[in-house]
Amino acid sequence: MASVPRDKPSFHMDPEEFRKHGHDVVDWIADYYQRIESFPVLSRVKPGDVRASLPAEAPRGGEPFERILQDFDKLILPGVTHWQSPNFFAYFPSNASGASILGDLLSSGLGVQGMLWATSPACTELETLMLDWLARALGLPEKFLSTSKGGGVIQDTASSATLCALLAAREQATSFESNRAGMQQKLCAYTSTQGHSATEKAIGVAGIGRDFLRLIEVDETFAMNAAALARAMQQDRESGLIPFFVCATSGTTSSNAIDPLREIGPACQEFGAWLHVDSAMSGTAALCPQFRHINDGLEYADSYCFNPHKWMFTNFDCDCFYVADRKLLIQTLSVLPEYLRNQASESGAVIDYRDWQIPLGRRFRSLKLWFVLRYYGIEGLQFHIREHVRIAQQFASWVSDDARFELAAPVPLNLVCFYLKSGDEANERLLEALNRSGDLYLTHTRLNGRFTLRMCVGQTNTTERHVERAWRRIQEEASRL
Amino acid sequence: MASVPRDKPSFHMDPEEFRKHGHDVVDWIADYYQRIESFPVLSRVKPGDVRASLPAEAPRGGEPFERILQDFDKLILPGVTHWQSPNFFAYFPSNASGASILGDLLSSGLGVQGMLWATSPACTELETLMLDWLARALGLPEKFLSTSKGGGVIQDTASSATLCALLAAREQATSFESNRAGMQQKLCAYTSTQGHSATEKAIGVAGIGRDFLRLIEVDETFAMNAAALARAMQQDRESGLIPFFVCATSGTTSSNAIDPLREIGPACQEFGAWLHVDSAMSGTAALCPQFRHINDGLEYADSYCFNPHKWMFTNFDCDCFYVADRKLLIQTLSVLPEYLRNQASESGAVIDYRDWQIPLGRRFRSLKLWFVLRYYGIEGLQFHIREHVRIAQQFASWVSDDARFELAAPVPLNLVCFYLKSGDEANERLLEALNRSGDLYLTHTRLNGRFTLRMCVGQTNTTERHVERAWRRIQEEASRL
């Protein structure tokens, strides 16, 4: 048996060692943010490089913390794509902030489980309150507040929120039989051709079948055509299927299209379908009254989600998922083994969030939200959201003014879709040249069949200067083609 | 529009502020671990207390970080149950360590997404390697290594791992039709009466129906009766159902029973059922050769999981999930929208972990595993696991020696189930008195219908002294009844 290190009672890092190494790690992160623009945004390693630089087996004996941190810097960092770089414009942002990182650090330090109210009351109560704070700050309908019949919960991602919403809808549509007896009825779900792939994944997981997901055509702004939705539901009903779930999107991944909830809502009501609204990135914009129109018609929704871990300076994972009727969600996801029974739960006076999600365990994620909301205040968040939208709009105007380029979609907020008029191949080469340069990172989509570049402005430290430089680089590379 | 704070270009915390506040948070955590035994382990707040101490709405303006940290200490801490206290013996542990917390802090600081290899190659490659390191260190069958046809992935929890395993099994059992066409066949799953509730949740989610989960009787050690399993599968088959999934447990939540994989495995093979082995807490013990027998027969398994976030000093969330055939899992969970297409994925040379899980996004969780494995080394981990088992066994011997008490189940590792012989009510009162005292925290289960106390020894800083004191307190309260 290995003996403990000579001068210590155990192999653990004691509090004084933690203090020292913790300061070093905090310093590493502070320094990283100071030098972050010096790295190529997109990692340049090739498949297998990182693994090849590391031993094939775990060490037998422990190693000094300093050496691990050095190796992290030397071996891991080159394999990292710098999502926190202000020159990161790819996908959707996954932005973080000091306040959030430190709130999350406290969550790691406390190491509590929030599966039940009883396992750490503050973990549950702060979460419920933060979701209420956000519902009010976003101007969400009253029914999503915990003080009404609904309420909010933190999920890891919008994909999981979509799955939970779809499951609750499935239960409702089957008179609460599907969980118990399995899928027997033929249900049908709907999202637009531009909706997120999470719905396709969820309907497969739920045993309904991907064949029963209808992708509804979109209008010229890439928003769902509500009349086409109603027609599809009618047709399915006539074929003996049950339209049960619609996932509308307020800000699609592809081009940030805003589905018309005010038209989709009544169609859902007519057919008795659950309306889930996915506003994963764009939802944060509703903090600003001038962008709140993206939620027009949200009063029709049965559930809603947005991700502070995308555009609200809160590090992953943090998806805020709201339901209008919490009983439906709880009834869908609740199981109660003896070893989880406790007085508080049985009193009915508390929320047990394990019944609001797929996993059982859960960490204290509301701490980082609390830190962000207090450190920035609503006005601080509004300021930065407005700035991102302003500079994205500026970028769009530059694109419009350059005769070689064309905007591929409307720009309601912070995502600009555009292409060179000279065809797909030129755009693919442009994208590759830009990303290879390391100066910035963009990704693509296809709109109306065209290979389209996406420029999403949402990184915490992205300012006008970064977007100006990105545009200059895009113009340079376009000229070089 | 709010203007930015007078002396700053933005509302963000800049790197120098982060350095300062970060040091304060690290110090808070170091101090917390020094004073952790001074708190009542189980929080004493009543439902609604924490919420009532906080404002009903988010602040308009930002607040100084110091004030938020003070409020955390003053308002949140009393609502926390101290899972990291060495006097926490409830549920299963969710233990953390300095190395893990700091590895996780770096993950928050980098803020990368690992959904695709391309979105941060190191995030994927380190994860694959860490899962291989662990498979070797635990002595898992070759087939679970990424260098064979299988491989491992980090899930949030064992519940999610069970769901993913069950979905892959469902696909396989339906000739890869269930994802596409929905559930049509009648499938049947099996776990023991002592198996985790995650299987019940998963089979409901998957659209198969909880009615089609059979809870197999257990033997006198609370381990699954393999003959009863085979009989149940035979009976279901004769009724026209398809036995497709068995969740065996190596260390049940209730009493740490070890299901006989060597007998269950052949039965699964005979009926063509997928064998998933859930070793959420106990799996860590296999790091020590003398406890590796808990995995006897694991070569029959199609999938396996254990949670470093339970008993391997790695803070939540970190469940290691292995499959013997990664193609089946990927085929089950893959969806591919245009905006995620990239050259590396299409080359087939890389792993994209979004196809191994329900969510799309994922954080860099392997960093904390890497830090733990290197900081402790395998020998350091073995030392502490052995110590926990040793002192749990000692506790069990004290229980045996006290005529008022009785052991309720065998004690293969670190969980001791016991009760006062004087009946359920006495045990309930004993549990309540102990937990109310704040000196320690235990939870209960029911075994053979009896209300049974559970003493689980697995907290990072739990030593002999804490367990001795716990036993003294249990004896004192028992005398007082």
Q: Tell me the per-residue pLDDT of A275-292, one tens digit each, with 9 for 90 and over.
A: 999 999 999 999 999 999
The pLDDT tens digits of the residues spanning B137-159 come to 999 999 999 999 999 999 999 99
Predicted local confidence at residue B338, as pLDDT: 75
Q: How far apart are alpha carbons A112 and B71 in whole angstroms?
A: 18
Predicted local confidence at residue B398, as pLDDT: 98
- Say which residues have a Cβ less than 8 Å from residue A7's Cβ, sequence separation at least 6: none
Q: What region, left, alpha or beta, does residue B442 occupy, with left being phi > 0 and alpha being psi -120 to 50 degrees?
A: beta
Contact A182 B59 (CB under 8 A): no
Q: Say if CB A152 and CB A322 are below 8 A apart.
A: yes
Helix, strand, coil percentages, rounded to 5, for chain A: 50, 15, 35
Q: Write down the domain spans for chain B.
A: 112-363
Interface test with A, best of B4, B8, B14, B25 (most A CBs within 10 A): B25
Closest CA to B361 of A302, A315, A72, A378: A315
Band of pLDDT at residue A3, cut at 50, 70 and 90: low
pLDDT (mean) for A210-216: 97
What does the DSSP 8-state code read for residue A92?
A: S
CA distance B246 to chain A (A): 18
Write the residue in B80, B335, B375 that is nearest to A122 by C-beta: B80
pLDDT (mean) for B274-291: 98
Predicted local confidence at residue B281, as pLDDT: 97
pLDDT (mean) for A229-237: 98
- Sort out which chain B residues have CB atoms less than 8 A from A56's CB and list them: 132
Predicted local confidence at residue B9, as pLDDT: 74
Predicted local confidence at residue B4, as pLDDT: 60
Contact A380 B206 (CB under 8 A): no
CA distance A176 to chain B (A): 11
Q: How far apart are alpha carbons A236 and A79 in whole angstroms?
A: 48
Q: Say if CB B280 and CB B196 are below 8 A apart.
A: yes
Residue B220 CB coordination number (10 Å): 9
Write the residue in A30, A60, A377 that is nearest to B63 by C-beta: A377
Q: Say if CB A154 and CB A319 are below 8 A apart.
A: yes
CA distance A137 to chain B (A): 7
* Mean pLDDT of the residues in chain A: 96
pLDDT (mean) for A459-469: 97
- Sort out which chain B residues have CB atoms less than 8 A from A180's CB and list them: 204, 209-211
Q: How far apart are alpha carbons B333 and B217 in whole angstroms?
A: 32
- Sort out which chain B residues have CB atoms less than 8 A from A377's CB and list them: 2, 11, 58-63
Band of pLDDT at residue B1, cut at 50, 70 and 90: very low
Contact A182 B208 (CB under 8 A): yes
Band of pLDDT at residue A178, cut at 50, 70 and 90: very high
Q: CA separation (Å) from B360 to A326, A420, A461, B164, B195?
A: 25, 30, 24, 14, 28
What is the DSSP code string of B255-277? T--B--HHHHHHHHHHHT-EEEE
Predicted local confidence at residue B5, as pLDDT: 60
Band of pLDDT at residue A6, cut at 50, 70 and 90: low
Interface test with A, best of B107, B156, B256, B307 (most A CBs within 10 A): B156
What does the DSSP 8-state code read for residue A290?
A: G
Q: How far apart are alpha carbons B152 and B160 in whole angstroms?
A: 14
Predicted local confidence at residue A5, as pLDDT: 60
Residue B60 CB coordination number (10 Å): 12
Contact B197 A335 (CB under 8 A): yes
Contact A349 B78 (CB under 8 A): no
Q: How far apart are alpha carbons B13 and A376 in whole angstroms?
A: 9
Predicted local confidence at residue B342, as pLDDT: 79
Write the residue in B11, B30, B120 that is nearest to A18 by C-beta: B30
What is the DSSP code string of A428-457? HHHHHHHHHHTS-B-EEEEETTEEEEEEE-
H or E element at residue B243: strand B242-249
Contact A2 B108 (CB under 8 A): no
Q: Say if CB B256 and CB B413 are below 8 A apart.
A: yes
Strand order in the sheet with B242-249: B151-155, B319-323, B303-306, B274-278, B242-249, B187-192, B213-216
The pLDDT tens digits of the residues spanning A76-101 come to 999 999 999 999 999 999 999 999 99
Contact B378 A27 (CB under 8 A): no
Q: What region, left, alpha or beta, does residue B139 occupy, with left being phi > 0 and alpha being psi -120 to 50 degrees?
A: left
CATH code: domain B112-363 is: 3.40.640.10
Band of pLDDT at residue A104, cut at 50, 70 and 90: very high
* ipTM confidence score: 0.97
- Sort out which chain B residues have CB atoms less than 8 A from A444's CB and list them: 338-339
pLDDT (mean) for A220-235: 98
What does the DSSP 8-state code read for residue B453?
A: E
What type of residue sits at position B440?
Answer: L
Predicted local confidence at residue B341, as pLDDT: 77
Band of pLDDT at residue B3, cut at 50, 70 and 90: low
Interface test with B, best of A25, A53, A124, A332 (most B CBs within 10 A): A25
Phi, psi of A320 (to 5 degrees): -95, 120
Q: Say if CB B84 and CB B460 are below 8 A apart.
A: yes
The pLDDT tens digits of the residues spanning B414-453 come to 999 999 999 999 999 999 999 999 999 999 999 999 999 9
Write the residue in B15, B337, B358 that is nearest to A160 by C-beta: B358
Predicted local confidence at residue B356, as pLDDT: 96
**Nearest 5 degrees, angle CA B188-CA B193-CA B197?**
75
A15-80 against A379-480: fold identical: no
Contact B336 A197 (CB under 8 A): yes
Q: Say if CB B96 and CB B103 are below 8 A apart.
A: no
* Residue A148 CA to its chain's centroid (Å): 26
Interface test with B, best of A14, A46, A80 (most B CBs within 10 A): A80
- Sort out which chain A residues have CB atoms less than 8 A from B59's CB and list them: 373-374, 377-378
- Sort out which chain B residues have CB atoms less than 8 A from A97's CB and list them: 12-13
Contact B205 A210 (CB under 8 A): no
**Chain A to chain B, count of Cβ pairs less than 8 Å apart?**
543
Band of pLDDT at residue B337, cut at 50, 70 and 90: confident
- Say which residues have a Cβ less than 8 Å from residue B79's Cβ, sequence separation at least 6: A120, A121, A122, A123, A125, A126, B43, B45, B49, B50
Helix, strand, coil percentages, rounded to 5, for chain B: 50, 15, 35
CATH code: domain A15-80 is: 1.20.1340.10
Write the residue in A13, A83, A313 that is nearest to B113 by C-beta: A83
* Mean pLDDT of the residues in chain B: 96
What type of residue sits at position A406?
Answer: E
Q: Give the β-pairing of A242-249 and A213-216.
A: unpaired
Write the residue in A47, A211, A349 that is nearest to B349 by C-beta: A47
The pLDDT tens digits of the residues spanning B385-399 come to 999 999 999 999 999
Predicted local confidence at residue A1, as pLDDT: 42
Q: How far apart are alpha carbons B26 and B37 in whole angstroms?
A: 19
Task: For residue B411, count CB atoms less than 10 angstroms from its CB and return exposed for 0-12, middle for 13-18, buried for 19 or more.
Answer: buried
Q: How far apart are alpha carbons B409 and B455 in whole angstroms?
A: 12
The percentage of chain B sitting over the pLDDT mark of 70, rounded to a whole number, equals: 98
Q: What pTM value is reported for the model?
A: 0.97
CA distance B268 to chain A (A): 23
Q: What region, left, alpha or beta, does residue B68 occupy, with left being phi > 0 and alpha being psi -120 to 50 degrees?
A: alpha
Residue of chain B minimizing CA distance to A33: B15
Predicted local confidence at residue A26, as pLDDT: 98
Architecture of the A379-480 domain: Alpha-Beta Complex (3.90)
- Sort out which chain A residues have CB atoms less than 8 A from B381's CB and list them: 11
Band of pLDDT at residue B343, cut at 50, 70 and 90: confident
